[in-house]
Amino acid sequence: MTDNHPSLTSLNTVGLESHIERQMVSDLYKHFVQHLAIIDPCITPAIIETLWQSIIGYYSEPIRAYHNLTHLQQLFEQFEQVKDKLKQPSIVALALYYHDMIYDPSRQDNELKSALFFKQAYAKLLPSDLIARIYQLIIMTASHELSDQTDTDAAYLLDMDLSILASDWLQYEHYAQAIRREYAYVTSADYRSGRTSVLAGLLTHPRLYLTDYYQRLEQQARQNISRELAFFAAV
């Protein structure tokens, strides 16, 4: 008689992955509540829950192979390393949560739409100056250029967003493959052309990382980018 049930090992693996995912969501939720309470302790639990469910919904869209909750988790691992260097850590944290809220790989205005989404969602919840600041931070993730060279919080935000480029090669490969899956609708030739242009453009920047803290990652990031470019050149 053939046993068609999954093995104990596979069940344990599924259970572990499910547990890790639940823990990730729980941690992200906890940070969201904490930072929102610091910014405005008067926002009610019901409103916080509505805001959080919206974040979960958008970042869980099927199209998102990279720009998902795991990406947020990776950013907040970086955030924990630099939070003491930030002037307004909770403002930066809220910008991180919303910087990829709207994501459609076929469009070029995702950051603008994400910023507008945030502005509308918080119009009656936060003071206009805080909304304007977070809107500005989200917008800057489109160009990854500072509008004010003394804006260190923005510099750290942008560096956190690019930190994946300096990961070890295995993680970088997973990142690159996930980006490709998000562009599954694009032909291989067109993807190679577009991705090559983006990567080559990054290498033209005098500095990928704007802060001294992240400058230590510069060489690794450039090596990873060059290695991906070499792959496309060989295809």
**Paired tokens of 8:** 């104990």
**For the chain, domain boundaries:** 8-234
Q: How confident is the model at residue 20 (pLDDT cuts 50, 70, 90)?
A: confident
CB-facing half-sphere around the CA of 183: CA atoms within 13 A? 18
Average pLDDT, the chain: 92
The closest of 56, 64, 86 to 160, measured between CA atoms, is 86
What fold does the segment set 8-234 form as a domain? Catalytic domain of cyclic nucleotide phosphodiesterase 4b2b (1.10.1300)
Residue 38 CA: distances (Å) to CA of 27, 32, 222, 229:
17, 10, 37, 43
Asked if 199 and 228 touch (Cβ cutoff 8 Å), the reply is yes
Residues 174-225 pLDDT 10s: 999 999 999 999 999 999 999 999 999 999 999 999 999 999 999 999 999 9
Q: What is the mean pLDDT of residues 81-91?
A: 98
pLDDT-derived band at 235, boundaries 50, 70, 90: confident
- The model's pLDDT over 45-72, given as tens digits with 9 standing for 90+, comes to 999 999 999 999 999 999 999 999 999 9
| Mean of pLDDT values over 140-149 | 92
> In the predicted model, what is the mean pLDDT of residues 71-89?
98
Percentages (nearest 5) of helix, strand, coil residues in the chain: 70, 0, 30
